[in-house]
Amino acid sequence: MRRTTLGRTGISVSRFCLGTMMLGSWGNADHADCLRLVHTALDAGINFVDTADMYAGGETEEIVGKALKGRREDVVLATKVHFPMGGDANHRGNSRRWIRRAVEGSLRRLGTDHLDLYQVHRPDPATDIDETLSVLSDLVREGKVMAIGSSDFSADQIVEARWTAERRHHVPFHTEQPPYSVFMRGIERSVLPAAQRHGIGVLTWSPLNSGWLTGRFRKGGADGIGELGSFRRDLVHHKFDPSVPGNARKLDIVEELVVLADECGLPLQHLAPAFVLSHPAVSSVIIGPRTVDQLKDLLAGAEVRLEDDVLDRIDALVPPATDLNPADADHTPPHLADPSMRRLPRELRGA
């Protein structure tokens, strides 16, 4: 398994990072099988494991903790904080109060005394970034956290956090974790250049675009909805609804990508992560298999590298910085989600 350095942290990580969202009740409820999956990944040379406190309500972190017993020191372990962990309004977000409590919960569930990477899962408009960086810096200085990162931050938020860290003498974010795939290339416009400019390591998620880039959903086949598991059907239906223009376009482009992959002698699910890793800003790509067989299939493509002519053909199908279905984004900034933030109060609009 190829390795690289995670940004400027000096930490050596595998180019494939094992994402664990599907371990537990959200995907694979068989804990013994989940342990086998993690061990298979480690045995194959993956040394980077990413999880989050909110995955399956904490169950996933517990599974990962069990899987890493006896192997913890050989693993770069990352987890995340932000999303609700219960009904209390203070058991979520990026406040000092919650992060202090959340990190202890993650350490306990993971069975470790430190985290190699602790990430803010989403921006929090209710909390000043100074507050968030302050508590994260304290955790680094206490040795509970080795490095800190963000996830789904825009380029301006990345830069604001950088400036805040410099002005306030905080530890800066070392990493950013955005979605990135052939079908979701928006981060190429400003997020990836900002990360490169500031020496920030990038670990990307959803290289298969929630399964679209496995070739499972094909034109003329099933509608892409009826065969989905409950997680995709109930929570991310909009990502597969064929009436959405971006999804209809995906069906067309998948056909051309399958032909391209065949010409390269590759299955589409190997071409897709290789595309992500071809960008110089990307340190590692997160793969999120549900079963050992899925993992082994992805591992078989770990050493694939795409030539310029193949990348040129992908650019012709999906131009750089293009998101085919903008609804694929799991985070919408408040100034886009709330119309009132884009409009003057009625009393100021004039006659």
Question: Catalytic residue numbers?
Answer: 55
Q: Residue 196, Cβ neighbours under 10 Å: how many?
A: 15
Query: First CA to last CA across the chain, in angstroms?
Result: 66
CA distance 236 to 206: 13
CA distance 68 to 73: 9
CA distance 204 to 153: 12
Q: Are 182 and 273 in contact (CB under 8 A)?
A: no
What's the number of CA atoms in the CB half-sphere (13 Å) around residue 92?
A: 14
What's the one-letter identity of residue 186?
G
What's the number of CA atoms in the CB half-sphere (13 Å) around residue 312?
A: 3
CA distance 342 to 335: 7
CA distance 181 to 274: 10
- C-alpha of 49 from chain center: 12
Question: 47-72 burial, b if ≥16 CB within 10 A, otherwise e?
Answer: bbbbbbbbbbebbbbbbbbbbbeeeb
